[in-house]
Every structure is written in C-alpha cells, then in structure tokens.
Amino acid sequence: MQTEKGLAEDLRRIVGPDNVHEATEEDAVEGVEPDFVVEPGSVQEISDVMKLAASEGLAVAPRGSGTKTHIGDPPRRLDLIVSTARLNEVLEHTPGDQIVRLEAGVKLEDLQEHVSGSDQMLAIDPPESGATIGGIVAANSSGPRRYRYGTIRDLIIGITVVLQDGTVAKAGGKVVKNVAGYDLSKLYTGSLGTLGIIANANFRLHPRPEAARTVAVEVAGPQQAQAAAQAIVHSQIEATAVELHYGEDEKRLKVLLESIPGGIDAKTETAFFLLKQFGEVRTLSDEEADHPGHLTTAEVVLKIGAPPADLAAVLESVFGAAERKGFGHPRITGHAGSGVTLVGFSGESEAGAAGFVEEMREIWVRRGGSVTLQRAPLTLKQRVSTWDNGGDYLGLIRRVKEKFDPRGGMNPGRFLGGN
C-alpha cells in the first residue's frame, strides 16, 4: 500500500487533476470519513479507479448526489468515494420506443425535464430531491406512483456496472421486452453499492398523464383507513397512488387519479362513490395533493413492509407500541395500496426508540414482513441494525456478495447481514 500522496497522484492520473478531492467532514458516511472523493468522467475511468482501489485494498463507496447516505449501517471502513457527479449525460432518448439510456449521475429532475418535451416520464417519484438515477436504483427508492407503475426494478431494462476489480459488464439492453441472459439490472436494484458501481442504466418510459386529480377521505381510525384503501384497491378505477397520512391531527387517505381529460371526471366520481362511506371526501388542491407528508423532519424513520390488507394492524401495532414506550405521537406516511408504511418520530430516548424498532420487528418480521430503518441517528444504529434479519435467504445474499465482491471492498458493512 502506498502513501496517501502517492494514491492521490495515481487517482489524478486517471481522472484528471481537478477531479480528485480530499474528503471533508461532509463526505463522511454515517460518521466514517474517507480519504478522497474521486469523480470519474467515463466508464473506463471508473474501471481504472476500481482497478487501482483493488490493488491498494481500498474500501470504496459509490455516491450520486448523496441524498440517501443515511440508509444502511455505518461502513466498516471507507477510503474512497467514487462520485458519479460528472457522469450526467442522457445517452439516448427515443420517444417512439419510450426508452432512455442514461449515465448514472443524471439527476431524476433533469431527466424528467429532458423527456417532458415528448410528453413522457420515468414513472418513479422518490421523496428526495436532487437524487441521481444511479442512487435511486442502488437504494431502490420509490414513491407514491409505485402503486401503479411498480418500483424501479419494474422500469429498468438494462444496466452497465463496474465491479470492484474494474471489470465492466452489462446486462439487459434498450428494449422493454428481453430475456437474454440473467437480469442483473434487478440484482443491482437495491444493492446499495455493495456489488459494484452502477455506471449506466436504461429504462422504459411512460406517457405523461394528461389529467390528474387527488381525492382524499378523512378517516376516523385504522380500520377505516384500511377499509378505504381496500375499497380503492379492489375497484376498477386504476388509481395511480393510494397514500396514507396518519397522525394525531391528520388521518387522511389520498388517492391520485390520472387519466385523459375526458376520463378524469368519471374517475373522480367513482372515487367519491367508493370513499364516502368512510368519511368526508373532497378533491384536494394541488398543494395539498403534492404534500409529501411530515416525515422529512423526523429524526427516525422506520419502514414497515407488510401485506396491504394488514394496514389496520400495522397502524394499531405502531400506536400501541408507541403508547407503551411513552412516545409522543408517531407520524405516518404510507403507500397504503402497496403495503409500505413509513413511521417517523423525533425526540425519543435511544433506548425507547431501539425498543420500538425491536418490537416492530418482533411483530412484522414474524408475519412475513420487514422493518428497516430508513433514517436514524448514528447512536441508534449502534443499538439496532438498519436491517432486520431478513429470511432464510441470508446465506444466499452472502454468497452473492462473495462472488461479486470477493475482497469485500464495496461499501463493506452497510448492507443486510453485515455485507
């Protein structure tokens, strides 16, 4: 292993003198500060950086905009951040084929802007602003629209990755329908940088809906919230999103409807009809409709994945546990049609918060669900892992990690099972 200075020299030789930075506190990942941040300008440069990192035994973390570095356990070690900031080109957009090929550092907002001229969109709406495509794929980030369009795994059609040893490999392609070879695009979705660096990704696009409206019902309690969500889900309305905002002062189920101008009124009418038995129904203003919920400021955000028809039980378990722990009022934003419930709270003791997480895991992992820390202070993560124990597939996860990253240099320690 060479000196830090020598390493900086080598990195500069690969990516150019302006694209290697000494890391600062702001580059720390969950309290672990790297030595350098390097910004390659091409797939080849990523590959060369990775070869160097491998020969020097460096621990590497890929980074897009860094909007989600709070997800995952603290890294066991970290020497080098490989940033995709300079890889921000839209490589191809063919409107007639409804596909796009992107470098990983393209920001979602920029992409949407790029394709909006053709009345198209990438049908993903994660909560973070400024996130890059690579980061969204790596963290499997999703939002309300997942109810209709699925998550990023359902939209990705091809990928180019760089492995820890610099090997460049692609899978899939630029056509929507394709079963040639293994679907590595899906394997890398949600892999949190532990299998290599996502350099490029290709997606299918969707037409941008011409008309949208959000209808909401104010519900009295968990049972009504579930019943209202179920009413929409089992109807033929083809809703785009079914969102729950639930807290002490707000208990609202929002249904996003999208259609053509000639179809939106009928959809709205149907939604009113379906929801009115559960409480007061109204059409929301744009501002209310777009309100993301109240979790952005929460210190701790927990994600519970459970069967959608267990929504009431999820809510009851959350509020029951919070009460027993003497918590204030947790706030909830949920993708109610998809079985995702995000629970946020602030100002609780660490022991209390840890106990809360463990209790949720006790209940929901046993019932086939999952409980993941989306955001938490470092001190809480030292008490409870970001991840629950997963299932009996943990051994397989380990074997995949060992094959793709035999030296354990990619984001070590951040992922499920210490991978």
Strand partners, 256: 214, 241
Q: Kindly state whether residue 237 participates in binding other proteins, applying the rule CB under 8 A.
A: yes
Query: Site for other proteins (CB under 8 A): which residue of 51, 70, 77, 174?
Result: 174
- Residue 232 main-chain phi, psi, to 5 deg: -70, -45
The answer to whether 276 touches 364, Cβ cutoff 8 Å, is: no
Q: Does 243 bind other proteins (CB under 8 A)?
A: no
Among 62, 144, 193, 308, binds other proteins (CB under 8 A): 308
10 Å Cβ neighbour count for 30?
A: 19
**Among residues 26, 179, 249, 297, the one that binds other proteins under rule CB under 8 A:** 179
Q: How many residues in the chain?
A: 419
- Find the shortest distance in angstroms from Cβ 88 to other proteins: 23
The nearest distance, CB 233 to other proteins, in angstroms, is 7
Residue written as token pair 């037409």: 207
When asked if residue 338 is in the footprint of other proteins (CB under 8 A), the reply is yes
Kindly identify the residues of this chain, within the stretch 25-64, that bind other proteins according to CB under 8 A: none
Nearest to other proteins of 351, 396 (CB atom):
396
Q: Return d(Cα 30, Cα 46) in angstroms, integer.
A: 24
Rounded to the nearest 10 degrees, the angle between the axes of helix 43-56 and helix 4-15 is 160
Exposed e or buried b for every residue in 254-292, given b needs 16+ CB within 10 A? bbbbbbeeeebeebbebbeebbeebbebeebeeeebebe
Residue in the structure block whose two tokens are 């820390």:
373
Shortest Å distance, C-beta 308 to other proteins: 6
Binder of other proteins out of 88, 112, 140, 346 (CB under 8 A): 140
Exactly one of 1, 249, 262, 297 binds other proteins (CB under 8 A); that residue is 262
Contact pattern for other proteins over residues 344 through 373, marking x by CB under 8 A: --------------------x---xxx-x-
Binding flag, residue 227, other proteins (CB under 8 A)? no
Of these, 182, 290, 323, 347, which contacts other proteins (CB under 8 A)? Answer: 182
Q: Alpha-carbon distance 33 to 297, whole Å?
A: 24
Task: Confirm or reject binding of residue 187 to other proteins (CB under 8 A).
Answer: yes
Which one of 6, 17, 181, 320 is in contact with other proteins (CB under 8 A)? 181
Stretch that binds other proteins, among 126-134, 186-194, 217-225, 342-350 (CB under 8 A): 186-194
The interface with other proteins within residues 75-94 (CB under 8 A) comprises: 94
Nearer to other proteins, 266 or 351 (CB): 266
How far apart CA 220 and CA 165 sit, in angstroms, is 56
Q: How many CB atoms lie within 10 A of CB 85?
A: 17
Residue 228: CB minimum distance to other proteins, A: 14
* 74 contacts other proteins (rule: CB under 8 A): no
189 binds other proteins, rule: CB under 8 A: yes
Smallest gap from residue 402 Cβ to other proteins (A): 7
Which three-class secondary structure state does DSSP give residue 97? helix
Identify the burial level of 165 via C-beta atoms within 10 angstroms of its C-beta, where 0-12 means exposed, 13-18 middle and 19 or more buried: middle
Part of the chain binding other proteins (CB under 8 A), chosen from 106-114, 170-178, 319-327, 354-362 = 170-178
Which position among 270, 283, 346, 382 is part of the footprint of other proteins (CB under 8 A)? Answer: 270
* Window contacting other proteins (CB under 8 A); options: 7-15, 294-302, 353-361, 385-393: 385-393
Q: Is the dihedral of CA 309, 357, 138, 106 positive or negative?
A: positive
CB of 330 to other proteins, least distance (A): 20
Q: Alpha-carbon distance 367 to 388, whole Å? A: 13
Other CB atoms within 10 Å distance of the CB of residue 180: 9
